Amino acid sequence: MTMQRSDSSRVPSRRDIGAPALSVLMAGIPSLAFAQPVDRLGVPGPLSFGGTSYRLAWSSQPGPGYDKQEYLPAGEAPGAYTRMILVEFLNTGSGPREALAAQVRSLNQRKGKDPLFNMAIMENKQTGEVMLDFLISAEERGQLIAEWNAYRYVPRKGAGGRDAVLLFAISRRAYGDDAIRSFLGELKSSRSGEVGRLARAPLPEIKLPR
């Protein structure tokens, strides 16, 4: 897959860690009341990415036509993960560009507030896919958290043939100053390769209930 990349800002250096973070609940953190996850998308897992197996750990339906599921390696929990795969299906009549635009609008609210925030957008004009690569941070209960995500938005058809979107994504986290310093150092060399791996990865087959 050939993606055209547009960077919105730089990858932060380690000295950025000392700056205050935006104290908000970060995207992707589910409720701490972990129930047995329901497979809403016909993708029970496990899923494999980068040689690691991910099991279905959490699912929800935030709104009509919108289902999301999160997958974690063995031993990790949704509220304190270090690696995650996300699969979402938006059967709402909009395409990848609209889904991407909504996420970008949300992320842009961090400008000037989150010292680690930066993002880049990539597009494959042949397939209609778009990708969003972004880094954010937050402070929760006195602990700094850094989170890097790569989102792959893929055009699909939903009920009645209307436009829909499959989101296939990876998320990485680090907790605390020391771990975040190492995390950012590794990210500088691994970021491009991880995005490329996501762009080439086989996509899960969605099977919605009839």
| Residue 162 is assigned to a structural domain of this protein | yes
Q: What are the pLDDT digits (tens) for 55-84?
A: 999 999 999 899 999 999 999 988 889 999
| Residue 80 is assigned to a structural domain of this protein | yes
| Residue 23 is assigned to a structural domain of this protein | no
Give the whole-number percent of the chain exceeding pLDDT 90: 70
Reported residue count of the chain is: 210
| Residue 196 is assigned to a structural domain of this protein | yes
**Could you tell me which residues come within 8 angstroms of residue 1 by beta carbon, excluding any fewer than 6 positions away?**
124, 127, 129, 199, 200
| Residue 18 is assigned to a structural domain of this protein | no
**Which residues lie across from 151 on neighbouring strands?**
132, 169
Q: Name the strand (E) or helix (H) holding 180.
A: helix 177-200
pLDDT at 165: 97
| Residue 103 is assigned to a structural domain of this protein | yes
Average pLDDT, integer, range 15-34: 34
pLDDT at 185: 96
How far CA 200 is from CA of 6, 35, 127, 203, in Å, comes to: 19, 32, 12, 9
The helix, strand and coil proportions of the chain, stated in percent and rounded to the nearest 5, come to 25, 40, 40
Task: Give the domain range for residue 135.
Answer: 4-8+40-200
| Residue 65 is assigned to a structural domain of this protein | yes
pLDDT at 171: 97
The domain that contains 155 carries what CATH number? 3.40.1000
Residue 26 has pLDDT above 70, yes or no: no
Cis-peptide into 46, omega within 30 deg: yes
Query: How far is residue 22's CA from residue 169's CA, in Å, rounded to a whole number?
Result: 23
Is there a contact between 56 and 69 (Cβ–Cβ < 8 Å)? yes
Better-scored residue on pLDDT, 77 or 171: 171
Residue 15 has pLDDT above 60, yes or no: no
Q: What is the mean pLDDT of the chain?
A: 85
**pLDDT band for position 16 (50/70/90)?**
very low
Tell me phi and psi for residue 11, to 5 degrees: -75, 130
- Total structural domains in the chain? 1
Most confident range (mean pLDDT) of 21-25, 137-141, 190-194 is 190-194
Residue 11 has pLDDT above 70, yes or no: no
pTM: 0.84
Q: What are the pLDDT digits (tens) for 119-146?
A: 999 999 999 999 999 999 999 888 999 9
- Across 58-95, b (16+ Cβ under 10 Å) vs e yields bbbeeeebebbbbbbbeebebeebebbbbbbbbbbebb
| Residue 124 is assigned to a structural domain of this protein | yes
**Which residues lie across from 72 on neighbouring strands?**
55
pLDDT at 178: 95
Give the whole-number percent of the chain exceeding pLDDT 70: 82
